[in-house]
C-alpha cells in the first residue's frame, strides 16, 4: 500500500513539474532589470555617452524580443534558455566594456 501511494505521488509530482517550468523566466527578467539599471547608472554618472547607451538599449530590446519569441509557443525550452543566457552574458560584457572605456559623456 505504501509503495503504491509513493508511486502515485511521484507520478503526480513529475506531471506537475513541466507545468511550472513552461514560460516562467524570472531569472531572465531580473537580470534584464539589473542590466538596465547598470546602463541607467552609467548614463547618470557620465561613464556612458548617448551613443553607447543607445547601442546597449537596443541590445537589451533584442534580448527582450528573444524572450517574447521563446514564450510565444507556451514553452521555454532548455535551448532557448541557454540562448537567452548567452545573449545576456554578451550584453553584460558589453555594458562593462563600454562603462570602463575612455569615452565619457560630454
**pLDDT at 16 (0 to 100):** 56
Give the pLDDT confidence of 26-65 residue by residue, as tens digits.
999 999 999 999 999 999 999 999 999 999 999 999 999 9
pLDDT at position 35 is 97
Question: Considering the chain, what is the average pLDDT of its residues?
Answer: 88
Residue pair 98/42 in contact by the 8 Å Cβ criterion = yes
Q: How far lies 3's CA from each of 12, 37, 62, in Å? A: 14, 52, 50
Amino acid at each position: 500500500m505504501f509503495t503504491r501511494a509513493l508511486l502515485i505521488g511521484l507520478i503526480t509530482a513529475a506531471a506537475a513539474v513541466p507545468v511550472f517550468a513552461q514560460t516562467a523566466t524570472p531569472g531572465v527578467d531580473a537580470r534584464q532589470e539589473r542590466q538596465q539599471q547598470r546602463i541607467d547608472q552609467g548614463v547618470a554618472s557620465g561613464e556612458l555617452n548617448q551613443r553607447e547607451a543607445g547601442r546597449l538599449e537596443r541590445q537589451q530590446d533584442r534580448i527582450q524580443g528573444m524572450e517574447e519569441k521563446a514564450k510565444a509557443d507556451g514553452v521555454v525550452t532548455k535551448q532557448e534558455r541557454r540562448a537567452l543566457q548567452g545573449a545576456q552574458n554578451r550584453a553584460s560584457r558589453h555594458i562593462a566594456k563600454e562603462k570602463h572605456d575612455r569615452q565619457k559623456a560630454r
